[in-house]
Structure 1
Amino acid sequence: MKIIEHPKTEDGTVGKAMLILELVADCETPPRFSDIQERSPFPKASTYRLVSTLVSQNLLALDERTATYSMGGKLMRLASRAWRSASLAPIAAPYIDLLSKKTGQTIHLAKLDNGQVLYLDKRNANKPVPMFSDAGKIAPAYCTGVGKAMLAFTNNESAQRTVEQQSFYRFTQHTITSAKELEAELMTIRQQGYAFDREEHEIGIICIAVPILSARNEALAGLSITLSTRQFELPDLKGFKPDLEETAKEISKVAGDWLLNY
């Protein structure tokens, strides 16, 4: 089971319910209650009450045939409204479509959220490659290309705070495992303007990523092209850099009012 980082447990019922929702959302397949309980920091009785309440509010859905849980209809509707009104994703979508069509590879749009990467949108490759990422999922910032690209172009105070939030869990033999190592990597990324994922989060998955910058030259979001090592090698990534950078610049230009409110 892939380990996902979560914020520290919040006090109060709402914070606990939100954590349960995140636990379910992060599962690669719909979990049973036993799977939720295994990941939950709360006692079994408390976890059961939280799950039952979320089901009754249609924030979680229970499939009685398989005894598994998934995101409820109400939550999906709320997420859709939030995505349309407050996300860069709808603005970026036409440009991501063009980049996807031109490259034929997996495209990710993401932002930093509480020290982690939140995937806002995704386009699958012409020949889809199995991988963890999907719109709405979260991933660590320190070992993903798009996370490092955004971190490198975050203001110093925010970047330092985000670095301190990282767990530096070793997902693969290539994972960055210390703040010192990450800070050295971020310095390189600032100098060259792009970041790599060298199989740091998932074996067999590599990517090149760039920040989508505001007028203050700070990262609003990140954009990446992700490839499989079964088809490409690390040196091949640079061939995608011009199209990736051009797309990021175009998204920045057309963001308009959304950027003004950033």
Structure 2
Amino acid sequence: MAQVIRSIQKALETIELLAQAENGLSLSDLAARTGYPISTVHRLLASMFEHGYVEQDPQTKRYYLGLKILALQAQGIRRRHFGRFAFPHLNRLRQHVNETINLGVLSGQDVVYLETFVPNSSMSFYAPPGTRMPSYCTAMGKVLLAHLPPETQDALLSSLELKPFTPHTITSLPALRTELAEIAQRGYAVDNEEYAAGVRCISAPVRDHDSTVVAGVSVTVLAEQLPTERIKPTAALLTQACLDISQALGYQGDS
């Protein structure tokens, strides 16, 4: 029994280290930080990978928290105080715009959906909680990147491979930096069919009591239903909903 407990402790230490590492950790990094032999850490990671608790980037070989952890996190958030503050505003926003509303956070290089509110319309884009998408070509990902501390943002952007998903995907790092600066100034981000052809998104940040951006909310719309002239009015409703949530969390700005 003592051996089982030690194994659990080692696994939990590994998970906690990965949770703190925005850019993931390599096998040698984890071994150095835990003080465990590389062979021990490798066995732990292999077991957690098999069950979905960690993921490995096939190119960098760095490890990240897996979708299983993020799905559990999503369930926890739905049941705890953040949900109590956020969900009435998100549901009201869905009723106003009659489009899909997503709540998500940044995890490593990706954005992860924690909750999705779907409209009554049958023509909508749906990604279930736990869905992971690239940050650089999604509205929610870009709005979260735009509000990272400068050093953190630089490190993350430098590690990105800007793979094109559609002809509209931003694949130039200078262009992405310019886009993020504009988003930070404007207050919301737009994904103009950059990740999925035929789908447009608008996203705005949610802040906590000390003004830190802790999440993003997005409106996902079929491109044909979101012409250019509809973007600003929709963004206004979205940013107001995010401000309402932020103020419920103790944020005192923009009043």
Report the equivalent of 2:42. 12
Aligned equivalent of 2:171, options 157, 165, 177: 177
On the 8 A contact 1:89/1:109 being kept in 2, the answer is no
Query: In 2, distance between residues paired with 1:76 and 1:8?
Result: 17
Aligned pair in 2 of structure 1 residues 17, 230: CA closer, same or farther (>3 Å)? farther
1:247 aligns with 2:241: yes
Report the equivalent of 1:92. 86
Aligned pair in 2 of structure 1 residues 228, 89: CA closer, same or farther (>3 Å)? same
Q: Superposed, which structure 2 residues align to 1:204-223 within 5 Å?
A: 204-223=198-217
* Deviation of 1:256 (Å): 4.6
Query: In 1, distance between residues paired with 2:178 and 2:42?
Result: 39
Aligned pair in 2 of structure 1 residues 254, 131: CA closer, same or farther (>3 Å)? same
Structure 1, unpaired ranges of 5+: 1-5, 26-38, 42-70, 258-262
In the TM superposition, structure 1's runs of 4+ consecutive aligned residues that sit over 6 Å from their partners are none
Query: In 1, distance between residues paired with 2:184 and 2:139?
Result: 13
Report the equivalent of 1:112. 106
Q: CA RMSD in A?
A: 3.4
Query: In 1, distance between residues paired with 2:115 and 2:228?
Result: 24
* Deviation of 1:18 (Å): 3.9
Report the equivalent of 1:61. none
On the 8 A contact 2:74/2:129 being kept in 1, the answer is no
Q: Superposed, which structure 2 residues align to 1:60-139 within 5 Å?
A: 78-79=72-73, 82-84=76-78, 88-129=82-123, 131=125, 133-139=127-133
Aligned pair in 2 of structure 1 residues 17, 133: CA closer, same or farther (>3 Å)? farther
Identify the range of structure 1 (113-122 vs 226-235) with the bigger mean alpha-carbon deviation: 226-235
Question: What TM-score results when the alignment is normalised by the length of structure 2?
Answer: 0.70
CA deviations 1:11-57 (Å, max 9, x no partner) are: 523323444455999xxxxxxxxxxxxx996xxxxxxxxxxxxxxxx
Query: In 2, distance between residues paired with 1:86 and 1:141?
Result: 26
Q: Percent identity?
A: 28
Query: In 1, distance between residues paired with 2:152 and 2:81?
Result: 20
Question: What TM-score results when the alignment is normalised by the length of structure 1?
Answer: 0.68
Query: In 2, distance between residues paired with 1:227 and 1:166?
Result: 26
Query: In 2, distance between residues paired with 1:182 and 1:76?
Result: 27
Query: In 1, distance between residues paired with 2:154 and 2:57?
Result: 29
Structure 2, unpaired ranges of 5+: 1-22, 28-40, 59-67
The residue identity in structure 2 corresponding to 1:242 is A
* Deviation of 1:195 (Å): 0.7
* Deviation of 1:83 (Å): 3.0
Query: In 2, distance between residues paired with 1:229 and 1:200?
Result: 11
Aligned equivalent of 1:140, options 112, 115, 134: 134
The residue identity in structure 2 corresponding to 1:206 is R
Query: In 1, distance between residues paired with 2:143 and 2:166?
Result: 20
On the 8 A contact 1:140/1:166 being kept in 2, the answer is no
Give aligned pairs, total.
Answer: 209
* Deviation of 1:85 (Å): 6.6
Aligned pair in 2 of structure 1 residues 85, 16: CA closer, same or farther (>3 Å)? farther
* Deviation of 1:197 (Å): 0.2
On the 8 A contact 1:110/1:117 being kept in 2, the answer is yes
* Deviation of 1:141 (Å): 0.5
